[in-house]
Structures are given as structure tokens and as C-alpha cells.
Structure 1
Amino acid sequence: MQIGYARVSSTDQNLDRQLKQFEGLGIKKIFAEKISGKDRSRPKLREMLQYIHDDDEVVVTSLDRLGRNSQDLTTIIEEIRSKGAVINILDLPTFDGVQDKNLKALLSNLVMEIYKYTAEEERKKIKSRQREGIDLSKARGVYQGSNTLYSATSKNPKYRVLYEKVVSLLKKNTPIVEIYRQTGVSRMTIYKIKREMNV
């Protein structure tokens, strides 16, 4: 049986593209959620992992829908395999033409390991570039840090008021896009405030 798992990182993002791909494949059983990959609870992922059994095929549109880093992905993939199920990543080669099951599994595993390594290295590069940018800003004396700018204790009244407005809107479950429109605070900062609030 084919089982789809779809995920987007926030409530204002859309699952439609992933669900449409599953529909095109005739997949009926789908677990879908709007939650950050950093969130280890991911209830629908847990539910899916408990549901699967021998000979099931877990289908995801891309590997990053399952997890954010190599260690997380490895743990989830191993759990899928321990249930006797296989995994199909739609944006990776499937090797459907390979008849030998062992060779097919070997090739699929190799591609996934390369993908995980590449994604992990890219994340490290991004973090390194961010750190270099912060260090340069600090050296020039212009770095203030997001916590200083947007927080309840900000020294700047303008940013303190904006922070309180964002918090108020988040508590009302206002979509991120709408909060951005109303406040002008960047979406990245809004997401950061949301994570800190655990809403």
C-alpha cells in the first residue's frame, strides 16, 4: 500500500502541491501536517510511522519533507525500514527499471546518502556565511541582534511596540503574511518570535 506524507513548515504555507502529486499517483492514505521540521513532536509523522507495516511504500515529494538534517533523516528512514516498509522520494531517482531488489535498494540508499550529505553541507555553508556576516557587522559596530531589536525588553520603543503587536497577532492565529503586511516586520523575525512563544 502506498502512503503519502506531506509537510510544510508553517500554517500559512500550502500543502496543495504535495497533495496534488499524491492524487496523481492514486495515493489514498495521506498524513499531512503544517509544522516545522525542527519540531520533534510532528504528530502526523509519528502517526504515519505507527501505521505502516510490511510491504507498505512511504511516498514523500522530497527528502527534506521528512527531516531537516542528516541524523534526523537517517533515524526516520531506519524506522520506516524497520517496519518492513520502503521509501519513495519523488524528486530522486527510483531505479524502477532495475529488477534485482538488492541492487535497487543499494542504488536508492546511495543516492539518498549523497543527497543527505549535500544538504547537510549546504546548511553548514549557510550557517558559516551567516556567522561571518554577523562578525563583520559586529566589527563595524552595527550589529544589534534580532533579540535586541524585537523583544519585550528592547531599548528602542519602536521595536518594542512592533514586537508586542506581532505577539498579539500571533496569539489571534493571524497568518504570518498578514502580520508582515500590518507591521512590516520580516517574516523570518515573525517566525522567530512565534518559535519563542511556542504557538
Structure 2
Amino acid sequence: MAKIGYARVSSTDQNLSRQYAALKNAGVSKIFADKQSGKDTNRPELQKLLKYIRDDDIVFVMSLDRLSRNANDITKLIQSIKDTGASFQSLDLPDFSAIPDKGLRNMLTDVLLAVFKFQAESERQHIRERQSQGIKIAKQRGVYKGKPRLYSPTAKDPQKRYIYQQICDELQYSQASERKIAEKFGVSRSVVKYIKSDLKELQPSPLLNKKLKSQ
């Protein structure tokens, strides 16, 4: 029986050292690691791990969200691990790795995961309800501003402030379509649309409005 670890961070500039230390402390002999979003389950090192593990191995992660941030994906990935004959252990859950009976280990893990998913879904629902209530109260008080825009004259990122101004210039002085402008600056068409809306509000010139509407 081998203890195999899996670690993941979302981007290349994040550090894996804390996960490595936790996994090695758990007795893991080999670690596969990805620097990729948890939304994508087709990660190269994760796929290598699934091909590497054998019967009676135990796959360790530091926490469930390192495997995935989606409850359904977590369930599918753990089933893929079990299909190889291995079992699964997350260090943020009670440790069943010392139980010699693999079937019992899997059963206890499944029960815990069912409880975890129920709690996670309940918490997400409560968060959505609290956000909805907070937005409603803020709107009633007239102080709700919504999520800050990435591209605006006051964006924190100077590059995005620059792109905002360049798109404004394109909308006012070129004949390019919204699609062409979006492609030129590497943004979505929705970004170009809301910048166009900003221009109409900030510069309500009949001539400019006519030009913007025609694009």
C-alpha cells in the first residue's frame, strides 16, 4: 500500500510548499501537483495520478478543494480513484487511512463526503440569501454600486484604465464594429457594450449617440 499525494494551486505564481509539507507529514511517498484552476478536472498531473495509482493505494490531498471546487466533480474524481482499487483521504477530514479494510475506509469516506456536500450546499444557499438581502437593503438605501468594473477610468490596474480609454477612442473615432474592437483589445463584447453605454451617458451629444447606435 502506497500513500500518493495530490497538490494544486490555481496559478503559476502561487506556492505549493504548504501542501507539500502537509502531505509529506502524512507519510506520502510521491506527490503529483498542478498549477491550474480547480474548475478544470482535465489537469495533466491529476490525470497522471489516476493512471499511476494501484490497488490498495491511498490518495491524499491537503483539503477537498485541492481536488476540485465543485461537489459533483469531487464525487466523480473520488469514484475514479476508487475504480482503480485505491482509496481517498483528505487531511481536512477525519483520518481513516490506518483502517486496514479498504471497503470500510471507502464507506466511512463516502459518509463524510455526503455530510460535507450537504453542509457546503447549505452554506452556499445561506451566502446567496445573505448577499441577496444585503443588495436589497443597499438598493433601498441608494448605496448599492454593484461589482467594480475591471475596465473603467478609475480601475485599480493602470493597464485596464489605458485599455478603457483606448476603447473609448475607438468607439468615438473609428468605424470598427464592437466585435472588432473587442478582438483588438482582448476583451469581451460585453465590455465594449458597457463602455459604449458610459460614453452615451457622459457625452450625450446627438451626433455621438447617432454614431454609437449605428455601430
| Alignment-mate amino acid for residue 89 of structure 2 | N
Q: Which position in structure 2 is the counterpart of 1:78?
A: 79
| Alignment-mate amino acid for residue 9 of structure 1 | S
| Alignment-mate amino acid for residue 74 of structure 1 | T
Gapped runs of 5+ residues in structure 2? 163-187, 189-215
Q: Which position in structure 2 is the counterpart of 1:189?
A: none
Describe how 1:58-69 pairs up with structure 2 within 5 A: 58-69=59-70
CA distance in 1, matches of 2:119, 2:82: 22
**Structure of larger gyration radius:** 2
Over residues 101-138 of structure 1, what are the superposed CA-to-partner deviations in whole Å (9 max), with x where a residue is unaligned?
A: 44443223212221222122222222332232223223
- Is this contact kept in 1: 2:59–2:87, CA < 8 A? yes
The Cα of 1:47 is off from its aligned counterpart by 2.6
Q: Which position in structure 2 is the counterpart of 1:128?
A: 129
Q: Which position in structure 2 is the counterpart of 1:107?
A: 108
- Is this contact kept in 2: 1:150–1:163, CA < 8 A? no
Q: Which position in structure 1 is the counterpart of 2:52?
A: 51
Change (3 A) 1:145 1:69: same
Q: Secondary structure at the match of 1:108?
A: helix
- Is this contact kept in 2: 1:134–1:143, CA < 8 A? yes
Q: Secondary structure at the match of 2:154?
A: helix
Q: Secondary structure at the match of 2:18?
A: helix
Change (3 A) 1:164 1:42: farther
Q: Which position in structure 2 is the counterpart of 1:192?
A: none
The Cα of 1:63 is off from its aligned counterpart by 1.7
Change (3 A) 1:47 1:138: farther
CA distance in 2, matches of 1:55, 1:66: 20
The Cα of 1:78 is off from its aligned counterpart by 0.8
TM-score w.r.t. the length of structure 2 is: 0.63
CA RMSD between the two structures: 2.7
- Is this contact kept in 2: 1:3–1:28, CA < 8 A? yes
| Alignment-mate amino acid for residue 82 of structure 2 | R
Over residues 24-49 of structure 1, what are the superposed CA-to-partner deviations in whole Å (9 max), with x where a residue is unaligned?
A: 24423211123332234433223322
CA distance in 2, matches of 1:165, 1:83: 48
CA distance in 1, matches of 2:57, 2:114: 22
| Alignment-mate amino acid for residue 150 of structure 1 | R
- Is this contact kept in 1: 2:89–2:109, CA < 8 A? no
Q: Which position in structure 2 is the counterpart of 1:158?
A: 154
Q: Percent identity?
A: 47
Change (3 A) 1:165 1:19: same
Change (3 A) 1:106 1:52: same
Change (3 A) 1:23 1:107: closer
Q: Which position in structure 2 is the counterpart of 1:39?
A: 40
Aligned residues: 162
TM-score w.r.t. the length of structure 1 is: 0.67
Find out whether 1:19 has 2:15 as its counterpart.
no
The Cα of 1:75 is off from its aligned counterpart by 0.9
Q: Secondary structure at the match of 2:48?
A: helix
